[in-house]
Amino acid sequence: MGGVARLAKQLGHTVSGTDANTYPPMSTQLEALDVQLFEGYSPSNIPEQTDVVIVGNTISRGNPELEAALTRRMRYTSGAQWLSENVLQGRWVLAVAGTHGKTTTASLLAWILHHNQLNPGYLIGGVPENFGESARLGSEPFFVIEADEYDTAFFDKRSKFVHYHPDTLVLNNLEFDHADIFDSLDDIKCQFHHLLRTVPQTGCVLFNQDSPALLETLEMGCWSATQSFSNTIQDEMPSDQHSDWSLRKLKQDGSSFVVKYKDAEFQINWNLLGDHNIANGLAGIAAAHHAGIPLANACESLSSFKSVKRRLELLGTPSGISVYDDFAHHPTAISETLNALRAYVGDAKIIAVLEPRSNTMKQGTHQNTLADSLAVADEVYFYKNPEMKWNADTLKSKTTHLVDSTQSMVNAIAKHAASGDHVLIMSNGGFENLHQRLLSVL
């Protein structure tokens, strides 16, 4: 929604908005744009002269501002529908969908197009460090968008991405998530099938052939050209299972790899770590190539890609202790992030700090796989979110500590961390500003 506000501002509109909590980096970005921010919902936050109220998908009936908009019979729409009608019309839309990697893949795809002088528009659910802002109108024709499967609004329970009508569609992976709105993986596959129905015959669907759920979704129907990609070493697979796009890792930490397409191979050396980011890079290159970027140019662009805020972002090294911020909140993402850090730091001590903040995590959907996803860490501090609907005591062990308050967490980590250690803080929210508080104490 912050990105939508930025795009509306760039189109010349006067914009204001409300959230339950506002925090950087989005709050500072919006304030710099002269977008008036309100923290806490009230009917008085909506100006009488408002032309349209754009309702975010976290807003439900009973919200005082939504109720006021309905009572006043104000014109309202969803963020996804507003984008479709006001930004995406007439553009070549490159959409990145999947359970994991959407933000990074969309960011690097936008960077490849930008690096090749195409000035793309984009809307990304994070802040790409190369751009320093989450959204930009850019110039026609290209527009890159992070395509989320979460529902659209209180009045539209389709996934947001059905509004985007992409010409180039990346399907990164597919797992069960968002247990608050989906009952099963089949429900999510159905929404992805609806997305496939919106891609024109002249478009292209780029899919991860290592994801069984994506293959099952494609079997439900696809009317566009397809290309497959894989981060599995192709030499170890039967020839009939080879993907169109593949890679070969040169360094264990993922900082160097080779991209293979048809008879061409190009080496990439970049700043990102982990097998999951190599897969994101391969998908981004493939999408850029479909948009007309020569393969050599696309690969060369990645060497200057800086990553995304809150994606294994090193915040500082006070007292020789490295403190990282990461958005991981699903067991697969937690495991991939920890594995990437382990490959980078070797035998150094890793202290994992996790906030179970998403609705899926609070419901306990992944509680049985959570311990395994944290196994790479030497020590774990798990925040016992009071909104959790399951008993986290099953996670407690000699190396996993359950902590009731973020202040206790700061105190414990500061007491036990030593020079050379790596503290990885994982949350998809503000985490009560734990990151900066810990940096200050250290």
Res. 235: pLDDT tops 80: no
Assign 37 to helix, strand or coil: strand
Neighbours of 40 (CB within 10 A): 12
Res. 238: pLDDT tops 60: no
Res. 435: pLDDT tops 90: yes
Higher-scoring residue by pLDDT: 62, 132: 62
Q: How confident is the model at residue 189 (pLDDT cuts 50, 70, 90)?
A: very high
Task: Give the separation between CA 282 and CA 261, rounded to whole angstroms.
Answer: 10
Quick one: pLDDT at residue 358? 84
Q: What share of the chain is helix, strand, coil (3-state, %, to 5)?
A: 35, 20, 40
Q: Quick one: 313-441 is in which CATH superfamily?
A: Mur ligase, C-terminal domain (3.90.190.20)
Quick one: pLDDT at residue 369? 85
Average pLDDT, the chain: 92
Phi, psi (deg, nearest 5) at residue 312: 45, 45
pLDDT tens digits, residue range 337-383? 999 899 999 999 999 999 988 877 888 888 888 889 999 999 999 99
DSSP sequence for 274-288: SHHHHHHHHHHHHHH
The side-by-side arrangement of strands in the sheet containing 379-383 is 313-316, 322-326, 422-426, 350-354, 379-383, 400-403
Listed in order, strand segments (DSSP E) in 125-255 are 135-136, 142-146, 151-153, 156-159, 168-171, 204-208, 225-229, 245-249
Res. 389: pLDDT tops 90: no
Class of domain 2-74: alpha beta
Domain boundaries, the chain: 2-74, 81-304, 313-441
Residue of 108, 118, 112, 115 whose CA lies nearest to 138: 118
Neighbours of 233 (CB within 10 A): 11
Q: Evaluate whether 124 touches 135 at the Cβ level (below 8 Å).
A: yes
Quick one: pLDDT at residue 239? 57
Quick one: pLDDT at residue 365? 80
Quick one: pLDDT at residue 345? 94
Quick one: pLDDT at residue 4? 95
Quick one: pLDDT at residue 355? 93
CATH of 81-304, one of 3.40.1190.10, 3.40.50.150, 1.20.58.100, 3.40.50.170: 3.40.1190.10
Task: Give the separation between CA 192 and CA 311, rounded to whole angstroms.
Answer: 25
pTM across the whole model: 0.87
Res. 237: pLDDT tops 70: no
97-113 core/surface letters (b: 16 or more CB in 10 A; e: else): bbbbbbbbbbbbbbbbb
Res. 420: pLDDT tops 70: yes
Quick one: pLDDT at residue 233? 58
Res. 139: pLDDT tops 90: yes
pLDDT tens digits, residue range 63-93? 999 999 999 999 999 999 999 999 999 999 9
pLDDT tens digits, residue range 284-333? 999 999 999 999 999 999 999 998 888 889 999 999 999 999 988 888 88
Q: How confident is the model at residue 234 (pLDDT cuts 50, 70, 90)?
A: low
